[in-house]
Amino acid sequence: MLGKLSTLFFAILSSAPWAIGQSTFGDILGVVKDPSQGTVLAAQVVLTRVEDKSEHSATTDADGTFHFVNLRPGHYDLLISADALRRGAQIGFGGADHRGRG
C-alpha cells in the first residue's frame, strides 16, 4: 500500500510544473501583405481590446511580421496602417463571434 501511495505522490509532484505553466493569456502573430501579396515593412499595427480600450502597438519587421504576447481573453480590433496600403485596414476578432471589418 505504501508503495502505491508513494508512486501516486510522485506522479502528482511530477505533473505540477505543467499545471503551473498553463495560462489564460494568448498571443497574436501575423503578417501584413500588400494587394500583390508582398510583405509590408514598418507597418503600424495597433491592437485594441474592446472591453476596456487598452491598446498594444507594434511595427512590422522586414518580413511584414508582428507579434502581440500575453493578451487577455476578449474582443479585439486590429488597425494596420502603412504607406504601402491605400487605407488603414481594421479587423475585429475574438470571443465567440469572430466578427470582421475591413
Q: What is the CATH number of the domain that holds 35?
A: 2.60.40.10
pTM for the structure as a whole: 0.64
Q: If you search the block for the grid coordinates 512590422, which residue do you land on?
A: 60
Kindly state the average pLDDT of the residues 29-53.
91
The answer to whether position 3 is within a domain reads: no
Strands (E), 9-64: 26-31, 44-49, 55-59
Spatial CB neighbours of 94, under 8 Å, sequence gap ≥ 6: 50, 73, 74, 75, 76
Number of structural domains the chain divides into: 1
Residue predicted with more confidence, 29 or 86: 29
Per the structure, the complete domain to which residue 39 belongs is given by 24-94
The answer to whether position 2 is within a domain reads: no
21 pLDDT tier (thresholds 50, 70, 90): low
The answer to whether position 39 is within a domain reads: yes
| 83: helix, strand or coil | coil
The answer to whether position 44 is within a domain reads: yes
The answer to whether position 89 is within a domain reads: yes
87 pLDDT tier (thresholds 50, 70, 90): low
Q: Is 32's pLDDT higher than 80?
A: yes
